[in-house]
Amino acid sequence: MHVSLSSSVTSPSTSPATGSAPTQADLLTFVRRTAADTGLLASLPLDPEGRTWVRLEGPGGSEAWLIGWPPGTGTGWHDHAESVGAFLTASGELKENSLAARLPTDGWKTLELTDGVDRERRLPAGRSRVFGHHHVHEVLNESPDRHAISVHAYYPPLPRIRRYSRSGQVLRLEQVERPEDWQ
């Protein structure tokens, strides 16, 4: 998989009250405004084989990304640890599979999930999603022939991402990534 990384880009933002952390609502407002910036969206380099991204300046010290998704790509199962977030599909369509269960945060390698914890959301262009701490999900572009573009914002800036594999109802912690692994 090929991934390209560009330098930070300033994008439309909202600023929470001075000295306060951005809320999920602030992050959602930011991703909506940023997704409406057609010039910014057009500047994202799109690769036919791998996701591409540009880091953005998010509100109130949040971490933000503009991401390009070639047909058939996805993130794999992961969470964003202690961060809350919001994302919006700016073009194309994404699918989010998530777990409606809070997992233990540490001290495990394999869990058996109970029935009924799976959730699926379709996120066509203009549709957004907010999520809380330790939200486990995967995001996919299932289109056979069309790129998708999305905007994401997280607060606090991502301290780590835990990556999982899944076989049926068994979820296994595979890797813990730190910011230096993706920046």
Domain count of the fold of the chain = 1
**CATH code, domain carrying 9:** 2.60.120.10
- Kindly report, residue by residue over 9-48, the tens digit of the pLDDT: 444 444 455 568 999 999 999 999 999 999 999 999 999 9
Residue 29's domain spans which residues? Answer: 4-102+120-159
Contact call for residues 74 and 94 (beta carbons, < 8 A): no
Looking at per-residue pLDDT, the higher value among 134 and 69 belongs to 69
Query: Which amino acid, one-letter code, is at 138?
Result: E
Report pTM.
0.87
The answer to whether residue 109 sits within a structural domain is: no
The answer to whether residue 108 sits within a structural domain is: no
The answer to whether residue 180 sits within a structural domain is: no
The answer to whether residue 138 sits within a structural domain is: yes
Q: What is the H or E stretch that residue 143 is in?
A: none
Model confidence band, residue 75 (pLDDT cutoffs 50, 70, 90): very high
The answer to whether residue 71 sits within a structural domain is: yes
CA–CA gap between residue 29 and residue 49 (Å, rounded): 30
Model confidence band, residue 103 (pLDDT cutoffs 50, 70, 90): confident
Query: Cβ of 163: how many Cβ atoms within 10 Å?
Result: 16
pLDDT over 80 at 7, yes or no: no
DSSP state of 59: G
The answer to whether residue 86 sits within a structural domain is: yes
The answer to whether residue 113 sits within a structural domain is: no
Which is it for the CA torsion 86, 140, 160, 171, positive or negative?
Answer: positive
List CB contacts of 169: < 8 A, sequence separation 6 or more: 112, 113, 114, 115
- 3-class DSSP state for residue 35? helix
Contact call for residues 123 and 96 (beta carbons, < 8 A): yes
The answer to whether residue 178 sits within a structural domain is: no
Of 146, 150, 152, the closest CA to residue 48 belongs to 146
* Count, residues in the chain: 183
> What is the mean pLDDT of the segment spanning 92-114?
90
